Structure 1
Amino acid sequence: MTISAVLPGPASAQQPASDAKNAGTVGIVGVGTATTGTSFSQQEVLDTFGITDPRVRSVFLNSAIDRRYLTIPPTDSDGARVVEPQGELLAKHKRIALDMGARAVRACLENSGYELADVDYLCCVTSTGFLTPGISALLIREMGISPATSRVDVVGMGCNAGLNALNAVAGWAAANPGKVAVMVCVEACSAAYVIDSTMRTAVVNSLFGDGAAAVCLVADTPDVAHGPGDVPSAPGSPRILGFASHLITDAIDAMRYDWDGEQAKFSFYLDPDIPYVVGAHAEQVVDRLLSRAGLGRWAVSHWLVHSGGKKVIDAVRINLGLTRHDVRHTTGVLRDYGNVSSASFLFSYDRLLGERAVQHGDYGVLMTMGPGSTIETALVQW
């Protein structure tokens, strides 16, 4: 999908329903992040839950994660951590998600110079809980956003979902030039844990943390013309050039969130080979994304890859021929927050902007991976 109507080539099947000639160039004009209140080192998590199995401890302590934000269960009268049934986990998700989501949206709007009254479209992404009505409706009510705001919830797509949603939100923005669209990825991973002694849960429990991130998108009105080499004038605001996806159908069950009858909870599963599967397919989708714009990997100055885990990051980096410097924000987010699921790549994006290293005309690739197994990518230019 080409979001900027001025780029050459035929409109794809994903082009917004409105006439592409009337669609504006979509820019990411603001970003904001939020976490829960308390972070824990990996050693503190092990001590908190009394985990002594050397195999599990090794997974935690060799994860390349220093700290994660978590909302751990309270203690009972004996000092042991309370076991949270699925119903309480869903209530926890609602409480944490609404708090983090609201703070991320406010931070994003402040960063972009807009106010709550300016929001015309709200997209909420989560994979760590299920609500009906969804987070979008609850945020609109609790934050005082106009009830006339269009909204959508993207639920259960996993760590890749941020770019799936960004594609749809960018399409809405392109079809509605001048209007303000906000996407917020809010992941209360503390509400999706199963605590037991198995290696299946050890990998997951060592990896994920709570976090939310929001971005604000606005398309130029039709009377603003951009040539293929032009970029939005606002500093730090890239335009979105396009998206590319790849579904690895042979690995469709390699990452999944399904019911654990023994625990009577939903439980997340990661196949040990998934880093290598994702890495092996990374070149295919990235090169397809870049070739549509007539570019090679050499042209990309900034790589914002999902902080899926140390092995995933290494596999992607090696297969794409990237340096450790190229993925510094990806590894930094993993180190300081863990894997915050669909919000991870936006935490890296926020860090890139804070670094103030972006130059006018630079290209960037956003990349997420998740269940399906799926690789999602987007091309932007500052």
Structure 2
Amino acid sequence: MTVRARIVGVGTAVPPTSYSQQEVLDTFQITDARARGVFLNSAIERRHLVLPPPGADGRPVGEQQGDLLDKHRTHAVESGIRALEACLKRAGASLADVRHLCCVTSTGFLTPGLSALIIRELGIDRDCSRSDIVGMGCNAGLNALNLVAGWSVANPGELAVVLCSEACSAAYAMDATMRTAVVNSLFGDGAAAVALIAGEPASPAHPAGAGADGPRILRFASHIIPDAVDAMRYDWDRDLGRFSFFLDPQIPYVIGAHAEEVTDRLLAGTGLLRDDISHWLVHSGGKKVIDAVVVNLGLSRHAVRHTTGVLRDYGNVSSGSFLFSYERLLEEQVATPGEYGVLMTMGPGSTIETALIQW
């Protein structure tokens, strides 16, 4: 029998402060009608953000690039730790059980990376192996899951964790352009962790039945669109003196047009049709992105209820968004043995990542 990595736990965390879209507009005193329309028609109700304190004019004080990097370090570590602890609790595991920690982030650059900082902060075994995936963007959570699932199969019985921790408010720029308005209306701060194990646990301290009903990871499929390599970028803005994110207005339609191809390749040779997939966990990339995927794959609105729910309540939390949706599916307790699910993320490259799982 082929050994597969199995998902045995998930956990999420967000900063304590949250804002409605109207509150963000009021906080930054945004009066431009077009910009306000972008915020208020985003299908987002609230987002968790770490905003700077108000200055003399009542608006948040400006943050230099160094301040933003400090913010990323502080809050990516803090939220990441809480998500990791929640994940291990759900898995019935402890910090001592973690044998590989892979950290994902695109909202700041650190050397050493988040994995080393979190291992030091929590006192995780110094023999724990680690990896960091930086700069791949919103699709990176599935890139990491692919690699760590391979590590799990190569190290049966050992617990591995993928941790996606994004301080998106540390990647914000403030100016009067519509480019900035689109970005600032969309992203929220958050972290999500998922625990994997292949085969029986190697440690007697780890409960043998923990996460036993979690889905097996069967296969992955990726698709990159080189013609759209500049459609999603995080690069240096010389005018603002900081990094700034760019989203091409056409990217939802580009993603949607390629979603069918990668999904069909994911299912090729399995005997499965799209109608055989009971659970769709799609990245909460934005209202237009979700709509494009729904139309091109012929999905119902119910199929992406968790995707739209996460967007509504948290905004786009980048690489960990699909795990927020997975957590909501678990809490529903509707997945039954034998059912299939598809995980899908998309991001810079432009790239679509998918995974097929089975309970």
**TM-score interval, normalised by the smaller of the two chains:** over 0.9
Give the aligned partner of residue 314 of structure 2. 337
When residues 91 and 298 of structure 1 are mapped into structure 2, their CA distance, relative to the original with a 3 A threshold, is same
Aligned partners of 2:159 and 2:201 also within 8 Å = no
Give TM-score, length-normalised by structure 1: 0.91
Give 1:175's match in structure 2, choosing from 154, 158, 166: 154
Tell me the secondary structure at the aligned position of residue 326 of structure 1.
helix
**Which residues of 2 match residues 146-165 of structure 1 at below 5 A?**
146-165=125-144
1:251 maps to 2:197: no
Give the aligned partner of residue 9 of structure 2. 30
Paired amino acid for 1:210: D
Give the aligned partner of residue 98 of structure 1. 77
Give the aligned partner of residue 310 of structure 1. 287
Aligned partners of 1:309 and 1:334 also within 8 Å = yes
Q: CA deviation at 1:195?
A: 1.1
Aligned partners of 1:275 and 1:315 also within 8 Å = yes
**Cα deviations across residues 156-189 of structure 1 (Å, max 9, x unaligned)?**
0000000000000000000000000001000000
Which sections of structure 2, spanning at least 5 residues, go unmatched? 203-208
Distance between the aligned counterparts of 1:115 and 1:44, measured in 2?
Answer: 39
When residues 134 and 278 of structure 1 are mapped into structure 2, their CA distance, relative to the original with a 3 A threshold, is same
Instruction: Quote the RMSD (CA, aligned, Å).
Output: 1.4
Tell me the secondary structure at the aligned position of residue 316 of structure 1.
helix
1:129 maps to 2:108: yes
Q: CA deviation at 1:291?
A: 1.1
Q: CA deviation at 1:293?
A: 2.0
Tell me the secondary structure at the aligned position of residue 302 of structure 2.
coil
Give 1:71's match in structure 2, choosing from 41, 46, 50: 50
Give the aligned partner of residue 280 of structure 1. 257
Tell me the secondary structure at the aligned position of residue 159 of structure 1.
helix
Paired amino acid for 2:329: L
Give the aligned partner of residue 205 of structure 2. none
Distance between the aligned counterparts of 1:269 and 1:216, measured in 2?
Answer: 32
Distance between the aligned counterparts of 1:144 and 1:243, measured in 2?
Answer: 33
Q: CA deviation at 1:196?
A: 1.0
Distance between the aligned counterparts of 1:126 and 1:332, measured in 2?
Answer: 23
Distance between the aligned counterparts of 1:311 and 1:171, measured in 2?
Answer: 33
Distance between the aligned counterparts of 1:222 and 1:90, measured in 2?
Answer: 38
Paired amino acid for 1:190: S
Q: CA deviation at 1:242?
A: 0.4
Aligned partners of 1:236 and 1:353 also within 8 Å = no
Give the aligned partner of residue 179 of structure 2. 200
Aligned partners of 1:307 and 1:338 also within 8 Å = yes
Give the number of equivalent residue pairs: 353
Distance between the aligned counterparts of 1:50 and 1:179, measured in 2?
Answer: 51
Paired amino acid for 2:197: V
Give 1:52's match in structure 2, choosing from 13, 24, 31: 31
Q: CA deviation at 1:25?
A: 1.9
Give the aligned partner of residue 140 of structure 1. 119
Tell me the secondary structure at the aligned position of residue 308 of structure 1.
coil
Q: CA deviation at 1:212?
A: 0.3
Distance between the aligned counterparts of 1:233 and 1:76, measured in 2?
Answer: 50
When residues 375 and 198 of structure 1 are mapped into structure 2, their CA distance, relative to the original with a 3 A threshold, is same
Q: CA deviation at 1:342?
A: 0.2
Q: CA deviation at 1:294?
A: 2.3
Aligned partners of 1:211 and 1:343 also within 8 Å = yes
Distance between the aligned counterparts of 2:113 and 2:210, measured in 1?
Answer: 35
Which sections of structure 1, spanning at least 5 residues, go unmatched? 7-23, 224-231
Distance between the aligned counterparts of 1:342 and 1:236, measured in 2?
Answer: 25
Distance between the aligned counterparts of 2:78 and 2:236, measured in 1?
Answer: 27
Tell me the secondary structure at the aligned position of residue 31 of structure 1.
strand
Give the aligned partner of residue 370 of structure 1. 347
